[in-house]
Structure 1
Amino acid sequence: MGVLHYFNVVGSSPPSKDSAVQVIYQDTEKVSSRPSKVTPHQRALLLRGPREPYVEVSDHPTPSLDGNREFLVRNLVIGLNPIDWKAPDFNFGIPELPYISGRELVGEVAISPKRRSRFKPGDKAIVISTDYRDLRKAAYQEYVVATDFNAARLPPSVSPEAGSALGVAFVAAALCLGVCAGLDFSTIADGPDLLSMVRQIDPSRLPEDVRDECLHGIDKESRIQKGDWLAIWGGSSTSAFMLNQIARLAGLRTISVVDVRKHAVKMATNNITRPDIVVDNHDPQRAIEIVRSATGKRLRFAIDTVGRETAGHLLECLQQHYATEDEPDVSTATPESAHLIGLTGLPKSSPPANVSFHNMPIKLFHEVPELGEALMLWLERLLSRGLLVPPSILGVSEGFGAVNQALDSMRRGEVSGGRVVVRIP
């Protein structure tokens, strides 16, 4: 797996264990199964307006099933995401009011699909809802509708708390690497070759706003390959945590730009999860220089998980200068195409001639069933075989009433390098 190197741009020594993120909540009691009787009304958290707290109600209608691939789960644990507080604070991604938020959870199957399915009543399932317009699938309610191609069986080796905090990040990472960068996962627990898959699908079935990315985002000859470098800015986020793991499973070399003092010790504790190189983000320009130097000025792929400004830093990392005093023979070489993938934003300016910008095509997961199902079956294998490590759980709280308090902690920046989850009793 290689050796983890520390690059501290301010000149201090590697961080101590005292700098690790502290646990916010102390309760670690395991979730237990409950009776599966479904009631016509349920508890739910409603958002009634922008910049308002979520309000708990006890008489919200229990969602109904539609089609033969949907099933109903009783919510056990909700994984909280930054979008859960950013959407109401900045008034985006809210298609209707009152609104139900929540993108991921672990639930117990209460009603299984009508068609033959691997999900049976009583099974625990990781449910991932990227279809934010369908409130039946939102996590902030007692009963949640799931589709069999957007859910994974929770293996006994993974706790419900851990399972509730990894799904969205896993899907985002897989789509970034598999579609935007063209990484073939077939050598990793029989994973899917997503790029080949989407290009064999009738183009009319691909969501219109991601169709060009799927069909023309990257040439097959330019796909990322074993041994290539991948730079990740914001390496402490859950998405980056998954990106790094999947990339290293595929034989890529990873370089993560993070707050070293906060996160480097934790990142170094597990051979599966640690990057090849960690760079401190304290001085962005110095970090850019280190990334370029460490990758031998041959970096072609970079993924940003933070925002437009840091995506701009990665764009600088990708600018390749082949002519140097030490390498005069390559002064006339044409740089290979480079690829910048943004999870939350890309630079405003148009990309240089040798760089392509990519937006992660999340809609593929819930609008193309065969692709969503391929990812979920792969996730089940990865977790069952211990190939994928869930993110750290920094806090566990109880009940819908605790959600607002937990989101406030996230607003204040108190949650970093792991996840906060809420059990639903």
Structure 2
Amino acid sequence: MALVGPSIMSTTTCLQLEELPNKPSTFHRYIFSETHFQPSVPNTTHAKIDEHTSTPASSLEAKQRVLLLKAAREQYTLVDDHHVPSILHPGEVLVKVLAIGLNPIDWKGPAFNFGIPSLPWINGRDLAGLVLQVPNESSRLRVGDIVLVPSTDYRDIRKAAFQEYAIATDFNAARIPSSTSIHASASLGVAFVAAVLALGVSFGLDFSRLTQSPGPNLVNVVNQLNKNDIPVDIQDEVFATHDESDRPQRGDWLAIWGASTTTGLVALQLAKLAGLRVICVADIARHGAKLLESGADLLVDRHDTDRAVEIIRGVTGGKLRYAIDIVGKDTATILEKTLDPSGNAHLLGLTGLPKERNTGIKYHTVPIKLFHSAPAVGESMVTWLEDLLQSDTLALPEIVRADGGLEGINAALDVLRSGTVSGKRIVVDLGSKESQP
């Protein structure tokens, strides 16, 4: 796929930007030289923008280009007269989308008709963009910030990535350091959220004990929440009791099946920061070198499943207590066999769990809704992510940049579906400056 980098001052937007000189922050920041917000359709309302004023509602009545899914099992359709999303709730920000990270759900949802609240719909879960509007002067975000946004609230069409302008909440947006690739950052968000919630909430791993770039103790954060404010379908997972002896400790083993995925690589890095020993199950011939570089203690090839189980049980002495599957129900069922069934073992499945349950194993799913439904959780995670990126503690995914903007997403999803891009993320460019990293 060809690399692209159309200027932010392209014909599809009248935003005219220049990098903030001598910026005190180490994050990407921009100021507006012409200070006009004008979506991509002519004769729309112009609105003055500075760092402390909001965009008037009249400008948000303008139109933008989006990719609409009009029917299940169809490709997305480019539409150029969709309304620019409006800010409706406190804490929301308006973002000009610069880059979109593609996820398997972006093609699997339409292909298998799931994860689509209604039709027509806009999809897309990962984006990086330019902040155009902030809630108030006290917000940690400022107009001109470049942020990555994991759009986990997929039932809110305003927050979808496949559009020129999107809404985010300030506690779900992480500022991108000036030394960090905007495009690679666009591929990180949802994987980071899934990995952190899996380790920190479902397993109870305490990130505040890290010696390098310490993070939140999410068990403590969760314990301060009002249970009634959390979606009912994740309450059992979020508020499960975590005895100290049941939480992962330094030196404990963790097995990850699907470790070469972005979520797997993030989970591997965070687990290693916490002092865990990590077993990575993947296609070792293709991804072994990258996994070793990321800190894997043991590599196990996924192709011989019986041998994989034998190796993991042998190395851990049959006492493995923590395992994450990122692939599916079948591999989760295989991974289950590596766990100590005598009690206090934990199996988390991102995309499925075994049908039959073992009484000695606790089964988990990622409470992804917690990220956007609990501001204290979301903000603790994104501020930690900013620190991890700023200190170069967390390695970004390898990416392939796709050309064509919104128009090119259908073709890029075909490539993703084919599996020819393995161990990398496809990122679609929507207009960031070529000078950006």
- The alpha carbon displacement at 1:99 in A equals 0.4
Q: Secondary structure at the match of 2:337?
A: helix
Letter of the 1:342 counterpart: G
Letter of the 1:74 counterpart: K
- The alpha carbon displacement at 1:395 in A equals 3.6
Q: Secondary structure at the match of 2:263?
A: helix
Q: Secondary structure at the match of 1:110?
A: strand
- The alpha carbon displacement at 1:119 in A equals 1.5
- The alpha carbon displacement at 1:190 in A equals 3.2
For the pair 1:87 / 2:94, whether they are aligned, the reply is no
For the pair 1:27 / 2:7, whether they are aligned, the reply is no
- Alignment correspondent of 1:344: 351
Is contact 1:51-1:88 (8 Å) kept? Answer: yes
2-side partners of 1:38 and 1:245: how far apart?
41
- The alpha carbon displacement at 1:207 in A equals 1.5
Letter of the 1:71 counterpart: V
Q: Secondary structure at the match of 2:3?
A: coil
Letter of the 2:239 counterpart: L
Structure 1: runs of 5 or more not aligned: 1-24, 321-334
1-side partners of 2:345 and 2:38: how far apart?
52
Structure 1 residues 312-365: Cα deviation after superposition (integer angstroms, max 9, x where no partner): 111000045xxxxxxxxxxxxxx4410000111100112x12111011100100
> Among residues 364, 368, 380, which one is paired with 1:362 in the alignment?
368
Q: Secondary structure at the match of 2:208?
A: coil
- Alignment correspondent of 1:19: none
Q: TM-score, normalised by structure 2?
A: 0.85
409-418 or 353-362, larger mean C-alpha shift:
409-418
Structure-to-structure mapping, 1:126-137, within 5 angstroms: 126-137=148-159
CA RMSD of aligned residues (A): 1.5
Is contact 1:46-1:98 (8 Å) kept? Answer: yes
What is the count of residue pairs matched by the alignment?
383
- The alpha carbon displacement at 1:30 in A equals 8.5
2-side partners of 1:28 and 1:251: how far apart?
40
For the pair 1:289 / 2:310, whether they are aligned, the reply is yes
Structure-to-structure mapping, 1:105-124, within 5 angstroms: 105-114=127-136, 116-124=138-146
> Among residues 383, 388, 410, which one is paired with 2:416 in the alignment?
410
Q: Secondary structure at the match of 1:60?
A: strand
- The alpha carbon displacement at 1:115 in A equals 5.2
Structure-to-structure mapping, 1:290-309, within 5 angstroms: 290-309=311-330
- Alignment correspondent of 1:372: 378
1-side partners of 2:199 and 2:271: how far apart?
8
Q: Secondary structure at the match of 1:170?
A: helix
> Among residues 192, 207, 217, which one is paired with 2:231 in the alignment?
207
- The alpha carbon displacement at 1:175 in A equals 0.2
Higher relative contact order (CA 8 A, sep 6+): 1
Would you identify which runs of 4 or more consecutive aligned residues in structure 1 move more than 4 Å? 28-34
Is contact 1:68-1:114 (8 Å) kept? Answer: no
26-35 or 199-208, larger mean C-alpha shift:
26-35
- Alignment correspondent of 2:245: 221
Is contact 2:4-2:429 (8 Å) kept? Answer: no
Is contact 1:180-1:217 (8 Å) kept? Answer: no
With over 3 angstroms needed to count, the CA separation of the structure-2 counterparts of 1:31 and 1:385, relative to structure 1, is farther
2-side partners of 1:85 and 1:180: how far apart?
28
114-123 or 227-236, larger mean C-alpha shift:
114-123
Q: Secondary structure at the match of 1:285?
A: helix
2-side partners of 1:317 and 1:242: how far apart?
22
135-144 or 120-129, larger mean C-alpha shift:
120-129
2-side partners of 1:391 and 1:30: how far apart?
22
Q: Secondary structure at the match of 2:312?
A: helix
1-side partners of 2:217 and 2:246: how far apart?
15
2-side partners of 1:192 and 1:31: how far apart?
38
2-side partners of 1:30 and 1:196: how far apart?
45
Q: Secondary structure at the match of 1:106?
A: strand
2-side partners of 1:319 and 1:192: how far apart?
29
- The alpha carbon displacement at 1:31 in A equals 6.8
> Among residues 174, 196, 202, which one is paired with 1:152 in the alignment?
174
Structure 1 residues 183-218: Cα deviation after superposition (integer angstroms, max 9, x where no partner): 000023231111122122121122211111122264
Structure 1 residues 20-52: Cα deviation after superposition (integer angstroms, max 9, x where no partner): xxxxx2416587574361431101000000010
Is contact 1:85-1:407 (8 Å) kept? Answer: yes
406-415 or 72-81, larger mean C-alpha shift:
406-415
> Among residues 317, 324, 338, which one is paired with 1:317 in the alignment?
338
Is contact 1:217-1:358 (8 Å) kept? Answer: no
Q: TM-score, normalised by structure 1?
A: 0.87
Is contact 1:69-1:115 (8 Å) kept? Answer: no
> Among residues 161, 173, 186, which one is paired with 2:195 in the alignment?
173
With over 3 angstroms needed to count, the CA separation of the structure-2 counterparts of 1:336 and 1:348, relative to structure 1, is closer
1-side partners of 2:199 and 2:361: how far apart?
16
- The alpha carbon displacement at 1:296 in A equals 2.4
Q: Secondary structure at the match of 2:363?
A: strand
Is contact 1:31-1:160 (8 Å) kept? Answer: no
With over 3 angstroms needed to count, the CA separation of the structure-2 counterparts of 1:31 and 1:175, relative to structure 1, is farther
> How many percent of aligned residue pairs carry the same amino acid?
49
Q: Secondary structure at the match of 2:380?
A: helix
- Alignment correspondent of 2:54: none
Is contact 2:401-2:429 (8 Å) kept? Answer: no
1-side partners of 2:4 and 2:164: how far apart?
21
2-side partners of 1:289 and 1:107: how far apart?
46
Structure 1 residues 84-121: Cα deviation after superposition (integer angstroms, max 9, x where no partner): 00000000010011100001111011112235212212
Q: Secondary structure at the match of 2:299?
A: strand
Is contact 1:31-1:76 (8 Å) kept? Answer: no
2-side partners of 1:46 and 1:217: how far apart?
42
